[in-house]
A and B are shown apart, each in its own frame.
Chain A
């Protein structure tokens, strides 16, 4: 119950912050959508970082490390540090400058003007919405998975149908999702993009701080960093996977198991080099078989898992972080910057913030392989580990609030962005700017946000057991496939309207094809382990180049506007 009290207190604090930022709201649509370009360096860093890090960063990274090991950090985090930093520097500043100079509020306004095409906006709008929705889904799903285990037992008579039997009485995912959607909607409605930026900054500080606190207590429980490094599951001489330790929750200490507990075995075990190895601390791909209990029948069911990461997968994953260049909500955050200098701190500190958040999560995920049953749903690994190792309800409540902070700090920007895009790029664009007053524009934006949130919430309830990490990767893959569009818009004068449309359509078709092949959101690789995003990227880039070269170049006035010449 203490956990619930802390979480409720945190959500109330957010509502208070929304009320406070609502008092700073200037009442104009420009203030609602881009905070009147008033955000300084620290708020920009926190809001951009908070937006890019969601359930994916905390819940997803821990779960993925639990599945594949420490390679998860190089796979997504360190490469994101490099690619994101370069995108903020090479693309973010230029887009901010063009947006400030020409008054764009949305990404689509920029593309319409750069590619001299009204239709491009109508093609892009549904695609952007389609790709943002999975991003929202992972937030709602992730929140549900985190809250249920840490509140287990709170209402045993009320919530009698848990995800797994041990979590009976815990707050069910449908209720968690509903509550956080309402809280985020409230503070976004009250404060617009300034409210979102302030809430983002606050929540980013909370989740980074809580991450460090959580890591400290987990390390203490495991007996220090050196000892924790020995905890991950181990391969024995006969190819069995064993857990050498168990955690005594009553005594609060880590105990050695003699004999070690067998939890699975390596498939096709012929290589004696695997003996005594901890596969989660390296990256060699090893296929293993575990067993998990069917929650309904209680029967043990075998399932396979690939540990480690194939090298080709690792290399081609570098295309995934390119998605940041095309996130519509990030474009909107860039436009809130007071000046270009506000970007400096973001360019420098973003890789460091990634380091601070991801390293502890990846380590906790790999250590958890030696303590938790292998069949536990990956999104639940973080909270189950905290529950087991930290135990104290007040601390668990604070740490859970940190995880919720990471989730909500992305959802707010996405909600706001969808409302902004719909209002400006569809409704106002078609009707003309004089037709709607500012209050009417705000009403339209808010109504669209409510519709999208309702649809997303229902979808999240339908796919509650989806893997948060994999779903996020599909969302990022779609945006990454669109990256050639923004890069060419800024760096290639010869890129044309037809080339842009061809690029968007080929990106969509190739992404949809692979998404279908994956069974709509599962982990999927092409051939020896190539991520679909790499192929979608090249298909989209190829279509853009070929079609642009086959069609007439843009008008000179357009080139002058987007590529101002030397004086």
Chain B
């Protein structure tokens, strides 16, 4: 069975991830000490919004790029070809 993630959604996930990684480096607000939303300093308010964006990416990931294949793989019984191979004596109980 296929356990490969859907390629296009995963690439999109990585793209969004990299965009957020760039947005995190907010050098453009570095020296700004003014108070904005809810009496928060600009730099903190920006990063609070950034946290919301991370959560939004999480929503996107679980709805559009969810690894259903891995979910099914976990629930299947091991076939002889993929039977668990353990190293050492102790893990044979698994």
Residues on A lying within 8 angstroms of B by beta carbon are 70-71, 73-74, 77-79, 81-82, 85-86, 89, 93-94, 96-98, 100-105, 109, 112-113, 116-118, 121, 224-226, 228-229, 277-278, 281-284, 311, 314-315, 318, 339-341, 343-344, 347-352, 354-355, 359, 362-363, 366, 424-425, 428-434, 557-558, 560-561, 564, 566-567
Q: Are B90 and A355 in contact (CB under 8 A)?
A: no
Q: Are B31 and A431 in contact (CB under 8 A)?
A: no
Given the interface pairs A82-B21, A85-B58, A101-B84, the reply to whether A77 lies near B27 with Cβ below 8 Å is no
Q: Are A118 and B87 in contact (CB under 8 A)?
A: yes
- In Å, the complex CA distance between A344 and B64 comes to 12
Q: Quick one: which of A74, A82, A118, A424 contacts B20, CB cutoff 8 A?
A: A82
Q: Are A93 and B24 in contact (CB under 8 A)?
A: no
- B15 on the A face (CB < 8 A): no
- B47 on the A face (CB < 8 A): yes
B21-55 vs A, Cβ < 8 Å mask (1 yes, 0 no): 10011110011110100111101100110111011
A557 — nearest CB in chain B belongs to which residue? B85
Q: Are B2 and A567 in contact (CB under 8 A)?
A: yes
Q: Are A283 and B88 in contact (CB under 8 A)?
A: no
Q: Are B44 and A564 in contact (CB under 8 A)?
A: no
Given A103-B84, A113-B84; 8 other pairs, CB 8 A cutoff: A70-B44, A73-B43, A96-B74, A224-B39, A315-B25, A348-B62, A351-B51, A354-B51
Q: Please indicate the chain B residues that have their CB under 8 angstroms from the CB of A278 in the complex.
A: 33
Q: Please indicate the chain A residues that have their CB under 8 angstroms from the CB of B94 in the complex.
A: 102-105, 109
Chain A: minimal CB distance from B45 (Å): 9
Q: Please indicate the chain A residues that have their CB under 8 angstroms from the CB of B67 in the complex.
A: 93-94, 340
Given the interface pairs A102-B94, A350-B58, the reply to whether A70 lies near B43 with Cβ below 8 Å is yes
Interface of A is mostly: helix
- In Å, the complex CA distance between A318 and B87 comes to 35
Q: Are B25 and A113 in contact (CB under 8 A)?
A: no
Given the interface pairs A112-B91, A117-B87, the reply to whether A281 lies near B55 with Cβ below 8 Å is no
Q: Are B41 and A282 in contact (CB under 8 A)?
A: yes
Q: Are B43 and A94 in contact (CB under 8 A)?
A: no
A314 — nearest CB in chain B belongs to which residue? B25
B86 — nearest CB in chain A belongs to which residue? A113
Q: Are A432 and B89 in contact (CB under 8 A)?
A: yes
Q: Please indicate the chain A residues that have their CB under 8 angstroms from the CB of B40 in the complex.
A: 225, 229, 359, 363
| B41, B76, B78: most-surrounded residue (chain A CB, <10 A) | B41
Chain A: minimal CB distance from B29 (Å): 8
Q: Which 4 A-B pairs have the closest CB atoms?
A: A225-B39, A103-B94, A429-B90, A433-B93
Q: Are B85 and A430 in contact (CB under 8 A)?
A: no
- In Å, the complex CA distance between A175 and B68 comes to 50
Q: How many A-B residue contacts, CB cutoff 8 Å?
A: 203
Q: Quick one: which of B13, B48, B89 contacts A429, CB cutoff 8 A?
A: B89
Chain A: minimal CB distance from B72 (Å): 9
Q: Are B88 and A118 in contact (CB under 8 A)?
A: yes
Q: Are B70 and A93 in contact (CB under 8 A)?
A: yes
Q: Quick one: which of A78, A96, A105 contacts B50, CB cutoff 8 A?
A: A78
| A70, A96, A226: most-surrounded residue (chain B CB, <10 A) | A70
- In Å, the complex CA distance between A350 and B51 comes to 9
Q: Are A283 and B43 in contact (CB under 8 A)?
A: yes
Q: Are B47 and A73 in contact (CB under 8 A)?
A: yes
Q: List 30 A-B contacts (CB under 8 A).
A: A70-B41, A71-B43, A74-B43, A74-B47, A78-B54, A81-B51, A81-B55, A82-B20, A89-B61, A97-B74, A101-B76, A103-B93, A229-B35, A229-B39, A277-B33, A282-B33, A341-B71, A348-B55, A351-B54, A359-B44, A363-B40, A424-B90, A429-B89, A430-B89, A431-B89, A432-B90, A433-B93, A564-B1, A564-B3, A566-B2
Chain A: minimal CB distance from B24 (Å): 6
- In Å, the complex CA distance between A424 and B89 comes to 11
Q: Are A351 and B70 in contact (CB under 8 A)?
A: no
Q: Please indicate the chain B residues that have their CB under 8 angstroms from the CB of A73 in the complex.
A: 43-44, 47-48
